[in-house]
Structure 1
Amino acid sequence: MTFEELKPKVNDIITETESLREEKLKKICHLLRDNIDYYDWVGFYFVNGDKPELILGPFAGEDTDHKVIPFGKGICGQVAVSNETFIVADVAAQDNYISCNMNVKSEIVVPLFVDDKNIGQIDIDSNIIDAFNEEDEDFLTYVNFEIAKLYKIQ
């Protein structure tokens, strides 16, 4: 399924009235993982209150031991500090990479902003080297923009 075909499906999930926010995030994780061949793990990490760390939110894929990630550590921790998308073509070439699964070859992490504040991020792992590009970044930025609406109305 193309990114353009997935956008209305993301919007349908966001606007569901019978689902709670966490359920919607989980559905989005599964939607992306199930419909984009090279998205092998899809999940959200959120800032843990005033602590300089991220906590694992809803995800789709293999379980991970990384439930808490300090700011600055790993790709997710770096995005929490930089507030910028990070695309890693080859995780083996990264000194500050936290391995969640030995099959992961590349990763993209896109920050999630609500009212100009970074509250978390979407993290995608792929078992294919150099899987992600600007189209993925644009699509995931769109997804996060839509998800941010869930936090503005709460």
Structure 2
Amino acid sequence: DRNQVIEDVREVENYLACSIHTRSELVVLIRDAGKIVGEFDIDSDTVGAFTQEDEALLEEMGALSSGRVASLAASYEAS
């Protein structure tokens, strides 16, 4: 229900990494009219790789693309 910044994934119990080299992760939700329609999920092999500025940039990208993402999701669900 909110963005996640994980400084060191090795400290998170039950963390499921896409790669054994992942050390930090940033997840930013994409919302359209209050509904979650997607997410950006960025991994790094460096502990503490992501900043508040990175999160803000992805939030801006999400705001700019949310309408299109919602439209694509609706088309996919209808098929």
Shorter-chain TM-score tier? 0.7 to 0.9
Percent identity (aligned): 29
Query: Pairwise mapping of residues 28-43 of structure 1 onto structure 2 (< 5 A)?
Result: none
Give the match for residue 54 of structure 2.
136
Structure 2: where are the runs of 5+ without partners? 73-79
Q: Hey, which bits of structure 1, 4+ residues long, moved more than 2 A?
A: 151-154
User: Hey, what does 1:44 align to over in structure 2?
Assistant: none
Q: Considering Cα pairs closer than 8 Å and 6+ residues apart, tell me whether 1 or 2 has the greater RCO.
A: 2
Q: Could you tell me which of 35, 43, 49 is aligned with 1:125?
A: 43
Name the SS for the 2:48 alignment partner: coil
Please name the residue that 1:53 is paired with. none
User: Which whole-Å CA distance do the structure 1 matches of 2:70 and 2:27 have between them?
Assistant: 22
Equivalent residues of 2:38, 2:69 under 8 A apart: no
Q: Secondary structure of the residue that 2:46 maps to in structure 1? A: coil
Match of 2:16 among 81, 94, 98: 98
| Deviation for aligned residue 1:91 | 0.3
Please give the TM-score of this superposition, normalised by the length of structure 1.
0.44
Counterpart secondary structure, 1:132: coil
Number of aligned residue pairs: give it.
Answer: 72
For 1:74-93, list aligned pairs within 5 A: 83-93=1-11
Unmatched segments (≥5 aa) in structure 1? 1-82
Q: Deviations over 1:18-73 (max 9, x none)?
A: xxxxxxxxxxxxxxxxxxxxxxxxxxxxxxxxxxxxxxxxxxxxxxxxxxxxxxxx
1:24 counterpart residue number: none
Residue among 53, 58, 68 paired with 1:150: 68
Aligned-residue CA RMSD in angstroms?
A: 1.5
TM-score, normalised to structure 2, is: 0.82
